[in-house]
């Protein structure tokens, strides 16, 4: 499974997924998160949901990654999920898909104090996953 917390899915991430999937002839699921910014006084607030442009951007990123995976000869599918809890949803999708591994682009780990930074979601996925998670460091973002 190739996953993103919303950042563009970089070519090195796809290459790592190809390396892992090729010996098994595996199917590949590509997912990306459209960030929901929270709630207002405990109630959903439409102003905190992803905009149409944000949804379209995420769909385009997933489509491009899925097309690259298919061009490399794999059976692939992909979709975008809107959530406030990216790590939880990525792990739920990996279990639902039956993924043997998760590949994500990641910024360098910033330590325990960075647990509230959205760009550190890949590290939260790696901590909580029951399958191997391969983080491809892309540099600070």
Interatomic CA distance for residues 38 and 116, integer angstroms: 13
Model pTM? 0.88
| Residues of the domain holding 59 | 2-137
Counting the structural domains of the chain, the total is: 1
Reading the chain (141 residues) residue by residue, the pLDDT tens digits are 999 999 999 999 999 999 999 998 889 999 999 998 876 676 667 778 899 999 999 999 999 999 999 999 999 999 999 998 999 999 999 999 999 999 999 988 877 766 667 778 999 999 999 999 999 998 654
Residue (of 53, 59, 69, 65) closest to 33 by Cα position = 59
Give 125: exposed, middle or buried? Use CB within 10 Å, 0-12, 13-18, 19+. buried
Report the CATH number at residue 16: 3.40.50.620
């Amino acid at each position: 499974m190739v996953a993103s917390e919303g950042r563009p899915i970089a070519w090195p991430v796809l290459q790592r997924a190809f390396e892992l999937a090729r010996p098994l002839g595996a199917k590949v699921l590509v997912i990306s998160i459209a960030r929901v910014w929270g709630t207002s006084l405990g109630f959903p607030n439409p102003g905190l949901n992803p905009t149409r442009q944000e949804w379209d951007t995420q769909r385009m990123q997933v489509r491009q990654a899925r097309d690259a995976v298919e061009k490399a000869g794999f059976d692939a599918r992909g979709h975008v999920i809107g959530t406030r809890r990216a790590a939880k949803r990525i792990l739920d999708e990996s279990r639902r898909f039956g993924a043997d591994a998760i590949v994500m682009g990641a910024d360098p780990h910033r330590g325990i104090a960075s647990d509230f930074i959205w760009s550190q979601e890949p590290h939260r996925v790696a901590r909580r996953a029951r399958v191997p998670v391969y983080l491809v460091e892309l540099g600070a973002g």
